[in-house]
C-alpha cells in the first residue's frame, strides 16, 4: 500500500487500496447517518458522543481509556491503516483524526471531502448496521497536539503563543452563551473554523490556509492553541494549520465547555 504524502487522502486513493487487508475505513457520524449509507466495509464510531469536559491529568487519563475502548469496540487496531471520514472534511472527521493521532495511530488519514467527495467520484455506498470484531486497542499516548486548561492558563500573555477561538462570532463575543459564562479566553484571536474549507467541503490548499492565518497575524513560528466549545471545531483548525506547515499546534480538548463553566478561570467579552 502506497503511503500518502500527508494526512489527507482522496477517493481515488481509497478506491485503489480498498482491498488491502490492513485498511480500515472509520465512519465517525451518527448511527442513523451510518445506517442510511456508508462506505463499503466501514467501521463505525459516533465521535460526537464522546464529549470530554475534564482536562485535569486524571481527566485526560480517563479520556485516553474511553477513546481507546471505543476504537477497540469498533474493531480498530494500532497496526491498521485507518481512513476516517464524515459528510465532508468537517469537525467530526478532524476530531477523529486528532484522536487517532494522540493515541499513537501511526497510519491515520482523513478522506478529504468525506462522503460527499466519495459519492461525487462515483463511489458506492452500503446501508445497514455496523459489523465489528472488538479488539483491545493498545493506545500509546502522544499528547503533543493536546492542551488542557492548565496549559492554556499558563499560555495567557506568553510571547510567541497564540490562543485561537474557532467558534462562531456570536459565541466569541458572548452574544450566544453555551456555558455558565459567555465570552472568550482573554487575548484570543477569532477565526471561525469554517474558513478552513472550500465550498466543496474539502480543505483549502496549504498555500491558501497559510495565507488565511498569516492575514490574522498567526505565523508558523508561533505556538497555537485552538479552542471551541468541545474540541471538535478546534480539531479542524489543528488539522488546517498542520496542513499549512505550522509545527506547534494544540487543541484545547475541553475548550469553552470546561473554561466557561469554571469561575476560577479568566474570561473577556470582546466588543
Of 126, 91, 134, 98, the closest CA to residue 18 belongs to 126
Helices marked H in 29-168: 31-36, 57-73, 91-102, 114-120, 149-155
| Dihedral of alpha carbons 195, 200, 203, 207, sign | negative
Consecutive H or E run containing 207? helix 206-215
Of 158, 150, 175, 244, the closest CA to residue 206 belongs to 244
Helix (H, G, I), strand (E, B) or coil at 17: helix
Helix (H, G, I), strand (E, B) or coil at 23: strand
Helix (H, G, I), strand (E, B) or coil at 239: helix
Catalytic position from the list 71, 185, 209, 228: 228
Q: How many CB atoms lie within 10 A of CB 237?
A: 27
- Non-local CB neighbours of 66 within 8 Å, separated by 6+ positions: 50, 52
Q: CA 233, CA 238: separation in Å to the nearest integer?
A: 9
In the annotation, is 137 catalytic? no
Q: Is 157 left (phi over 0), alpha (psi -120 to 50) or beta?
A: left
What would the grid cell of residue 175 be?
Answer: 452574544
Q: Considering just the CA atoms, what is the radius of gyration of the chain in Å? A: 18
Residues with active-site annotation:
228
Amino acid at each position: 500500500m502506497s503511503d500518502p504524502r500527508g494526512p489527507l487522502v482522496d477517493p481515488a486513493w481509497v478506491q485503489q487500496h480498498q482491498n488491502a487487508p490492513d485498511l480500515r475505513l472509520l465512519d465517525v457520524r451518527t448511527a442513523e447517518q451510518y445506517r442510511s449509507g456508508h462506505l463499503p466495509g466501514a467501521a463505525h464510531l459516533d465521535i460526537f458522543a464522546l464529549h470530554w469536559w475534564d482536562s485535569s491529568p486524571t481527566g485526560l487519563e480517563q479520556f485516553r481509556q474511553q477513546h481507546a475502548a471505543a476504537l477497540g469496540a469498533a474493531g480498530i487496531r494500532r497496526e491498521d491503516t485507518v481512513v476516517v471520514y464524515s459528510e465532508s472534511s468537517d469537525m467530526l472527521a478532524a476530531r477523529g483524526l486528532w484522536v487517532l493521532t494522540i493515541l499513537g495511530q501511526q497510519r491515520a488519514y482523513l478522506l478529504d471531502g468525506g462522503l460527499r467527495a466519495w459519492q461525487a467520484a462515483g463511489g458506492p455506498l452500503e446501508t445497514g448496521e455496523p459489523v465489528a470484531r472488538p479488539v483491545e486497542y493498545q493506545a500509546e499516548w502522544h499528547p503533543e497536539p493536546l492542551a488542557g486548561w492548565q496549559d492554556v492558563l499558563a499560555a495567557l500573555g506568553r510571547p510567541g503563543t497564540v490562543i485561537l477561538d474557532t467558534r462562531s462570532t456570536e459565541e466569541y463575543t458572548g452574544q450566544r452563551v453555551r456555558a455558565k459564562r459567555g465570552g472568550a479566553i482573554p487575548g484570543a484571536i477569532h477565526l471561525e473554523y469554517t474558513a478552513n474549507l472550500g465550498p466543496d467541503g474539502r480543505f483549502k490548499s496549504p498555500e491558501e490556509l497559510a495565507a488565511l492565518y498569516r492575514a490574522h497575524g498567526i505565523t508558523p513560528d508561533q505556538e497555537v492553541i485552538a479552542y471551541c466549545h468541545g474540541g471538535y471545531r478546534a480539531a479542524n483548525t489543528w488539522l488546517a494549520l498542520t496542513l499549512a506547515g505550522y509545527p506547534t499546534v494544540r487543541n484545547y480538548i475541553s475548550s469553552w465547555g470546561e473554561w466557561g463553566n469554571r469561575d476560577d478561570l479568566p474570561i473577556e467579552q470582546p466588543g
